[in-house]
Amino acid sequence: MWDNIAYCGGKLTIEFARLSNGSIPASEFLTALEERWQARLLVLFQRLGDFGRIDNREQFKKVKGDIWEFKSFKIRMLCYYRPDKRVVVTHGFVKKEDRIPTRELLRAESIKREYESILAQAVEGGGGEQ
């Protein structure tokens, strides 16, 4: 039930989006990384969760619209803020170009739409949140 929570901090909860097919793209990406990269990203999740922000733009920044990115060298994990003090990580990828590929931004927006739809249906159906 709570396998999509990455970190629950004093200011924010960092969670992974779960899709209608049950997959959790961000978690799958993170667990496939070497442990050193996992550790670096988890530190960023903890910092954002505990303090509500990461001041270093080399580690966390807004990329387009309401999509933000966690950054560790060439590894990126895209996310967005929810009004209920949650940050939802959509997916991750290894950046090979100077700019974030448009397909990755479109994927983040698609995952966000699907996840928000699932959450809305759960609330309407009385199922509460995941």
The tokens of 55 are what? 């001041």
The pLDDT tens digits of the residues spanning 110-125 come to 999 999 999 999 888 7
Q: What is the pLDDT of residue 1?
A: 44
Q: What is the pLDDT of residue 122?
A: 86
Confidence check: pLDDT of 51 > 70: yes
Angle made by CA atoms 70, 72, 77, in degrees to the nearest 5: 35
- Tell me the domains of the chain and their CATH numbers: 5-123 (3.30.2310.20)
The pLDDT tens digits of the residues spanning 62-108 come to 999 999 999 999 999 999 999 999 999 999 999 998 889 999 999 99
Q: Which amino acid is at 33?
A: L
Q: Which residue has the tokens 């080399």?
A: 58
